[in-house]
Each structure stands twice: as structure tokens, then as C-alpha cells.
Amino acid sequence: MNTPAVTRASLIEARGVYKSFGQTPALRGASVSVRPGEIFAIMGPSGSGKSTLLHCLAGIYTPDQGEVLFDGQPVNIMSEADRTKLRRTAFGFVFQFGQLVPELTAADNVALPLLLNRTKRKAAYQIAGAWLDKLGIGDKSGRRTGELSGGEAQRVAVARALAMNPQVIFADEPTGSLDSLTGEKVMDLLTGLAKETGSTVVIVTHDARVAAYADRVATVRDGLVSSIELPQTTGGGAHASPGTPVTAAKGVE
């Protein structure tokens, strides 16, 4: 791959992770390695364990067995306080829904994690405003998020995740409740801005069109990972007309 030799090969890593809920095993020795700065998608059928894997990587769940490393440090044996700090300072989260406080304005929602992290009020709201502008919803900053459309609310969620300048953004079905076009806008913004800021993105999706934004895609099946490389396109591939490989004649035969 194209990762320069000087960078750490993996920023987040799961090694042989097992996780069960009661008698039901969700992960059965899953291993995966996410490189710094990449957009990494985790796909799989429902019940395959893909969300559980994301929650383990993000230090939300503690694996029953196996290791989770972030920047070389074992997350699975950290104290709850350290893990909370890590989630608050190094990680950003975008979920399908439910992560915003509907009674608060868009600006409040984005500023909230900054305030919790002891950023001064004025600075926090300045940062929040700048990110809402970048996401094209600066004019909605004073609106309560409960009154926003699904796509607008998801952009607020992306702004909130990016505003902390996290090393990693974890996104679980971030476009799951959006229509195709709105979902595409959100993915364009999320991946484009993450590349700009150098944040790594780990995204769980069942949608191949969302996974197509990723540099690499891992498929989870029955609690195990089968990683699939998506090498960067070289030469003409990405520049060819989209019509070429889809040979129209074949489509109408």
C-alpha cells in the first residue's frame, strides 16, 4: 500500500477479540488493523458483529478476550476513567441518530463537547460556528436540532465530531436514516473534511455505496473479519468515463 514507512502501521488494532452478550457470541476472534489517516469501512450482514467490533475499537465495550490497541496502548486494560478521557479527547462519534440533544441549538450541540473539555465558552462557540459553516449549515446554528431535517441534524453531528479535532472518528451507519442524495452529501463532507484534517475514520455500514468512500473495507462474517484491500487507483481507472466500464450495450441486451 501507499502508507509511508515513517508512519505507524496501525493506529487502532483489534487482536483476536471475543465478545458475547449473554450466551450469544458477537465476535469470535476478530482481528483488524486501521492505519492512520485512512477511511476504513466495516461491512457485514446484520448480526455479523460489525457494530460490536466498532464499539470494541472505540473502547465503549470491553472485549471478553483479546486486545484493542490505540496508538500502541492497550485500551482493553485501561481504567474506565482513562477510557472515558480517550473517547472524549481522541475520538469523535457519529451515529445513525440520537447523539444530539434536541432541545439545544446546533451551535450548543457542537460546542458542548468542547465545553466539557474545558475550552472557554467564547472560543468553543467560535469553533462550533466555523465547523457549522464548513458543513454548509452556518445559517442553522441558532436552531434547535430537534427542528432540523435528518440531513441537517447529521451534519451537526459531523460538525460536533470534527470540532474536537479527533484522531479517529467512529461512525455507525451515519447515513442509515437519510435518503440517497442527503446521505451522499453527508459522506462527501465527513470523508472530505476528515482527509483535510488528517482524522482517521472508521465507519460501520451495510451500504456498499457508503463503503465505496473507504480506502479499505473489512467484511465481518459470523464474528470474524475477512479484510479486503481497496488499493488506491493508479493511472486511468479513476479518470475513465464512468460510461466506459458499464458498456451501455451490455445493459440493454
Position 243 contacts other proteins (CB under 8 A)? yes
Residue 16 beta carbon to other proteins: minimum distance, rounded to whole angstroms: 21
Position 230 contacts other proteins (CB under 8 A)? yes
Within residues 90-129, the interface with other proteins by CB under 8 A covers: none
Q: What whole-number distance in Å separates Cα of residue 84 and Cα of residue 58?
A: 10
Within residues 185-224, the interface with other proteins by CB under 8 A covers: 188, 191-192, 208-209, 211-214, 217, 219, 221
Position 1 contacts other proteins (CB under 8 A)? no
Within residues 42-81, the interface with other proteins by CB under 8 A covers: 45
Among 26, 40, 228, 235, binds other proteins (CB under 8 A): 228
Among 2, 5, 226, 235, binds other proteins (CB under 8 A): 226
Strands ordered across the beta sheet of 12-21: 24-34, 12-21, 65-70, 73-74
Q: Which stretch binds other proteins (CB under 8 A): 114-122, 152-160, 196-204, 239-247?
A: 239-247
Position 235 contacts other proteins (CB under 8 A)? no
* Closer residue to other proteins in complex, CB, 146/192: 192
Q: Which amino acid is at 20?
A: S
Position 237 contacts other proteins (CB under 8 A)? yes
By rule CB under 8 A, what count of residues binds other proteins?
A: 32
Alpha-carbon distances, residue 103 vs 69, 98, 100, 171, 252 (angstroms): 36, 12, 9, 23, 52
The contact pattern for other proteins, residues 17-36, with x = CB under 8 A and - = no contact, is --------------------
Residue 206 beta carbon to other proteins: minimum distance, rounded to whole angstroms: 9
Query: How far does CA 48 lie from the centroid of its chain?
Result: 18
**Binding residues for other proteins (CB under 8 A):** 45, 188, 191-192, 208-209, 211-214, 217, 219, 221, 226, 228-231, 233, 237-243, 245-247, 250-251, 253
